[in-house]
Amino acid sequence: MCDIAALCPYDVIQAQILFADHCAEYLKIPAISRKTGLRAHCGRHNINLWETLYMSNGLEIERKFLVEMPDVSALDVRRKISITQTYLTRGENDSQRRVRRISENGKVRYTYTEKVFLTPVTRKENEFEISEKEYNELLGQSDKKIAPVEKVRYCFDYNDQLFELDTYPFSGKLAIMELELGSPEQVIDFPANVRVLKDVSADAAYSNANLASAGRFPEQDQ
């Protein structure tokens, strides 16, 4: 039996990925889509394995799209999550820090996330759960220049891809749809019942922080 606690951080990550690969192999997910396929499987069955194995430490590749608000009842929704997201003052190497209060199925949990952006779609991310006490203490380090983000996230499955639809209280017509990728070149199979308006992955105006501070989408000014 491997003593995880005795491993160095790099070895822990490698052990997590190896275990995730074994899980994906057991579920008969093809190697070419192993990462995204495992995430979709976890989302369908409301399993937090994905966050534990792949998102605790490592690279995150994500594309973000502005979409018309779809009929949520027509989506294959696996999870509905209410999120309060508060940005903290910047960390080392100008890293972005945030805490979240996450409410799902009557239960509340808290997370701390630190990100360093490498490209518009790729970032180094470290995320882990914290206690309610730690969450409240970290709120004392909030960045007063950035408004807290309130949103409802719908995680839905489409052709073995787990999309995330973020809806905001200031708009009933527009939303943000995200998809985490296995590589920047991955081809996306868009849901037929969601109208994609444009790719906003590299547009800072559509970041959570800027949307919350503005209290609207840029299109609402037009």
The CATH number that applies at residue 183 is: 2.40.320.10
Least confident of 91-105, 125-139, 184-198, 208-222: 208-222
Domain that holds residue 178: 55-221
Both 154 and 82 in one domain: the answer is yes
Classify residue 183 by its DSSP letter.
S
Domain count, the chain: 2
If you average pLDDT over every residue of the chain, what do you get? 81
Both 188 and 92 in one domain: the answer is yes
Residue 207: exposed, middle, or buried by beta-carbon count in 10 A (0-12, 13-18, 19+)? middle
Q: Report which of residues 132 and 120 the model is more confident about.
A: 132
Both 118 and 170 in one domain: the answer is yes
Both 136 and 217 in one domain: the answer is yes
Q: Residue 192 in contact with residue 156, Cβ under 8 Å? A: no
Average pLDDT over residues 183-211: 93
Both 42 and 83 in one domain: the answer is no
- Got the DSSP string for 76-130? -EEEEEEEEEEEBPP-GGG-EEEEEEEEETTEEEEEEEEEEESSSSEEEEEEEEE
Q: Report which of residues 55 and 93 the model is more confident about.
A: 93
8 pLDDT more than 50: no
Predicted model pTM: 0.74
CA–CA separation, 36 and 205 (whole Å): 27
CB under 8 Å to 98, separation ≥6 — which residues?
A: 85, 86, 87, 88, 112, 113
